[in-house]
Amino acid sequence: MAHLQPLKFVQVLPVAKHTATVFFIHGLGDSGSGWEPVADMLSDAHPHVKWILPNARMQPVTINYGMPSPSWFDIYTLGDRSMPHREDEKGMLESVATIDAMIDEEITKNNIPSERIIVGGFSQGGALSMLIGTTTQRKLGGVIVLSGWLPLRTKIQSMISPYVKTVPIFQGHGAQDNVVQYEWGRLSYEYLKEKLGIKDAEPGKLKEGGIQFKTYQGLMHSASEREIADIGSWLKEVLPDN
């Protein structure tokens, strides 16, 4: 994996003293700049946070008939993720290593503790952020998963992070999502609780860890203003200005 070149990325810089960083990972076919308006929106209430929005490399994607697209890993099918299915483990782990290297640089060059770093993403990026959050050997400040799922379920228990039960997780999913089905997100949430021992987050104690799962009625494969507002409230508790 050492041969991989650093990713290009978009930044939304803090307007106050920089004390925390959020990495947000876009979905298939998108770019970091696609999430810049959301970062701008959340920056107003979180002026101490820097946002890093990495761009995936172009690669052939099987569900797109092999056409190259910005993608974190290959996707072979959009079939039922509650059942065993073929996954691009190599591509996933390469992307995990690439994002981890970016986190390491943020820690070493900007002196931001890992506990003040959050990794989040949407769709394919949400799946990647969930994989990072459950396998990282660092204690992260939190994980955000929007319209995502837990990949590598058959192997995840052998890769598990020692901090998995103490990392705060926000998971949001549209009830009418017709791309990454709502049931897949819900099953991932149940798996995290039943197989990995992650508890539901307690209101007022989000920093202690656990998962907060929110359902958005009427929402398809997208993010909504209400969901973004909920992320803002969650960030205020797990990543306060200090």
Q: How many residues does the chain have?
A: 242
Question: Which one from 31, 69, 85, 221 is the annotated catalytic residue?
Answer: 221
Annotation says 221 is catalytic = yes
In this prediction, residue 146 carries a pLDDT of 99
Instruction: Kindly tell me the burial class for residue 52, based on how many C-beta atoms sit within 10 Å of its own C-beta (0-12, 13-18, 19 or more).
Output: buried
Choosing from 88, 95, 177, 188, which is the catalytic residue?
Answer: 177
- Strand 68-70 relative to strand 58-60: parallel, antiparallel, unpaired? antiparallel
Cα 22 to Cα 19, 78, 180, distances in angstroms: 11, 28, 23
Q: Write down the pLDDT at residue 169.
A: 99
CA distance 189 to 44: 30
114 is catalytic: no
Give me the catalytic one of 43, 71, 123, 161: 123
Confirm whether 3 is a catalytic residue.
Answer: no
pLDDT at 115: 98
Looking up tokens 């039943």, which residue turns up?
A: 194
Question: Class of the 9-238 domain?
Answer: alpha beta
User: What distance separates the 2 farthest-apart alpha carbons in the chain?
Assistant: 48
Give me the residue spans of the domains in the chain.
9-238
> Which pLDDT belongs to residue 2?
44
Q: What is the pLDDT along the chain (242 residues), one digit of tens a residue?
A: 445 667 899 999 999 999 999 999 999 999 999 999 999 999 999 999 999 999 999 999 999 999 999 999 999 987 666 656 789 999 999 999 999 999 999 999 999 999 999 999 999 999 999 999 999 999 999 999 999 999 998 899 899 999 999 999 999 999 999 999 999 999 999 999 999 999 999 999 999 999 999 999 999 999 999 999 999 999 999 999 87
Phi, psi of 113 (to 5 degrees): -65, 150
Burial 129-153 (b: 16+ CB within 10 A, else e): bbbbbbbbebebbbbbbbbbbbbbb
CA dist 222 and 179 (Å) reads: 10
Cα 22 to Cα 4: distance, rounded to the nearest angstrom: 22
